[in-house]
Structure 1
Amino acid sequence: MLFHSMTEADLDRVTAVTVDEPISWIPSDRYLDELAQGMYRPEWTWIAEDGGQVVGRALWWGQSRSEHPIALDCLHVDACVADRAAVAAELLTTSLKAFAEQGASKLPLYNLTLPYGWREDLAVAAALAWRRDAALAAGLTDEVERLRLEWTPDAGVPAGGGRLTFAEASDEEFLQVFRRIAVGSLDRETRRNLAAKGAEVAAREEMDFYLDCPGKREWWRLARTLEGEVAGLAIPSATPYNRNVGYLGVVPELRGRGYVDDVLAEITRVHAESGAELITATTDTGNAPMAAAFARAGYRTAQIRMIYSAPES
């Protein structure tokens, strides 16, 4: 079996692949559209070929200006293959090795979208099982389950509590607050980065990530109490597809007072007032306080995301 990135001659075969499992996949029209935008690329599109037939594909995605891919959007191996997990693992291992050799300092993750309540659906659970085995075998062993939430205008804009003020601030001021709110965070990725890299590096990388997102820097706000004490930050952001809740947090000494509701209300207000018809957000399933805050603000759980990534060295 051959594993290689796509050439121009492979395009029709790649787009002819269909997925009949009840799990996230990328249809040909979306792939071609985003290929033209540079979010999919031939060198990021990997296939498994057996006897001249494409029996597997891995579609890695990045932003149009990305030097290296950010995430795996779609992994498929044909049901005719005896060991789908083994072929998928080899496909992932080969492509990840190529990305590392091309200079990627951080390996892309595998972002797998599932319907809410997927554990009760045997077909979805089976579709996840072999993909999960492949991801783990390829070294993407850090597994996180996240809620994917949505706000639409019919939910109404949540009212702020009037206990915080929001204002623009310098990058250095934001960086200081990024460092502070990482302490004691329930977010798995934040805790992992803090342990592996320390507060300074973790905060800088988090901030740089949001600076690089499609959202505008002028949307960012520091939250302060009415007495002028820094309470946290609100970062409305965006993806290439829609507005989203980028990052929010409350400093450790002021947690437990309900300020998270005010911060989330501010982010929602910023997007709603500019006409957003959909605001998305994610949070770990284990972060019950944040999930509850989203529910209070009118966000509903739309999907589940399973994320597989390489452990931080």
Structure 2
Amino acid sequence: MAIRIAHPDELPNLVRIPGRPERNAGTAAYLDDLIAKKCTRPEWCLVAEDSAGQLTAATALWTLPGSAVPMALVLIEAPWDEPGLTTGQELLSEAAALARSLGATELEHVIDSPVQPPQFQAEPERRAELLQLAGFARARDGRRFRRHSGAGLTSYDDRLTWRSVTDLGSEPFIALLTQALPTSADAQLGAMVARHGARGAAERLFADMEQFSFEPAWWEVGHTPDGTPAALSLPARNASTAVIGLVAVAPECRGNGYATAVVARGTRLLVEAGAEEIRGDCDAANIAMITAFERAGYENFADRLEFTRQL
């Protein structure tokens, strides 16, 4: 078995699975789109080749459009019936080494269920097993939500007065995040605080969000009538779709439905900007966010297990 960069004539198909034409066409189109948007590059696509010259496993490094540093793995395929998942382990080891050489300090991968485009992740239990064997740890048990155009907009919540990052600058956003993150119900955010401290995690999270596409007028802090910064809204666009992005509510202001107000606010701004579909994720334990999405007309279309590995 050899692990190598995919040849040009192997792109964008990589590993094809017999009898699954929808999956083969869908994953090829997805990889082609990622390459076009510079979320990956041909030299970031790795394959495993057996002694007969057949491709048996594959993955690609992923990042935000145009970034030179990988952030995640996508399109992982391996011989799922192989004892010990040896091929998959060697593939992910090579992928981690490549990512490290490009400046990455962490890699992520997500497993969505039920099986759906664009990655068509069959064998979710074996996938999770492979990730753990390869040094990844489970970071979050998540829920995915989406809202299509045509759904009614939630009525405007007039309890908060909104001011944008253009007016405020970034410091009030980071300050509110510093307050909110240590008691967040999101396991992934809690892990960031444990590694970097509340202020460090807030700064990193805000900087990560700045890599998305957004209009400064979309990013807002909502204030209560007495001027207290209560809630933060960071809607944006990623390479594929519009997203709610990040929602945070100051600890002393929780229990007032402000998360619902933030999702409704971000949704309205994105719809007015022409978004046909909007997505959002949250931790399965974050009941306030699940409620906020449901009240704003979103459907829980998938569950998502998120894994991370330090490099």
What's the secondary structure of 1:203's corresponding residue? Answer: helix
Structure-2 change in CA distance of 1:108 and 1:21 (3 Å): farther
Write the distance in 2 (CA, Å) between the matches of 1:173 and 1:143: 28
Report the alpha carbon displacement of residue 286 of structure 1 after superposing the two structures with TM: 1.8
Write the distance in 2 (CA, Å) between the matches of 1:2 and 1:251: 52
The alignment's TM-score, normalised by the length of structure 1, stands at: 0.88
**Structure 1 equivalent of residue 272 of structure 2:** 273
What's the secondary structure of 1:108's corresponding residue? Answer: strand
The alignment's TM-score, normalised by the length of structure 2, stands at: 0.89
Structure-2 change in CA distance of 1:138 and 1:184 (3 Å): same
Q: How does 1:71-82 map to 2 (within 5 A)?
A: 71-78=72-79, 82=82
Q: How does 1:10-21 map to 2 (within 5 A)?
A: 10-11=10-11, 14-15=13-14, 17-18=16-17
Write the distance in 2 (CA, Å) between the matches of 1:208 and 1:50: 42
Deviation string, structure 1 residues 191-221 (Cα, Å, up to 9, x no partner): 1111111012101100001111122333101
Q: How does 1:148-297 map to 2 (within 5 A)?
A: 148-168=144-164, 169-297=168-296
Unaligned runs of 5+ in 2: none
Unaligned runs of 5+ in 1: 117-123
Report the alpha carbon displacement of residue 112 of structure 1 after superposing the two structures with TM: 1.9
8 Å contact 2:234–2:266 — kept in the other structure? Answer: yes
Deviation string, structure 1 residues 239-262 (Cα, Å, up to 9, x no partner): 111111011111001111122221
Please state if 1:114 is matched with 2:113. yes
**Structure 2 equivalent of residue 99 of structure 1:** 99
**Structure 2 equivalent of residue 88 of structure 1:** 88
Residue identity opposite 2:89 in structure 1: A
8 Å contact 2:70–2:102 — kept in the other structure? Answer: no
Deviation string, structure 1 residues 166-185 (Cα, Å, up to 9, x no partner): 11121112111121121311
**Structure 1 equivalent of residue 66 of structure 2:** 65
8 Å contact 2:138–2:305 — kept in the other structure? Answer: no
Deviation string, structure 1 residues 17-73 (Cα, Å, up to 9, x no partner): 237689988521332233233222122211111111111111222223211222222
**Structure 2 equivalent of residue 121 of structure 1:** none
Structure-2 change in CA distance of 1:230 and 1:27 (3 Å): same
Structure-2 change in CA distance of 1:229 and 1:11 (3 Å): closer
Residue identity opposite 2:230 in structure 1: A
Structure-2 change in CA distance of 1:175 and 1:134 (3 Å): same
Residue identity opposite 1:137 in structure 2: L
What's the secondary structure of 2:123's corresponding residue? Answer: helix
Residue identity opposite 2:235 in structure 1: P
Structure-2 change in CA distance of 1:273 and 1:9 (3 Å): closer
Report the alpha carbon displacement of residue 9 of structure 1 after superposing the two structures with TM: 5.2
Write the distance in 2 (CA, Å) between the matches of 1:22 and 1:10: 17
Write the distance in 2 (CA, Å) between the matches of 1:255 and 1:97: 43
Residue identity opposite 1:32 in structure 2: D
**Structure 2 equivalent of residue 56 of structure 1:** 57
RMSD: 2.6
Deviation string, structure 1 residues 91-137 (Cα, Å, up to 9, x no partner): 11121022113321x22211222128xxxxxxx99701211111001
What's the secondary structure of 2:11's corresponding residue? Answer: helix
Q: How does 1:22-33 map to 2 (within 5 A)?
A: 27-33=27-33
Write the distance in 1 (CA, Å) between the matches of 2:265 and 2:82: 52
8 Å contact 2:46–2:95 — kept in the other structure? Answer: yes
Report the alpha carbon displacement of residue 151 of structure 1 after superposing the two structures with TM: 1.3
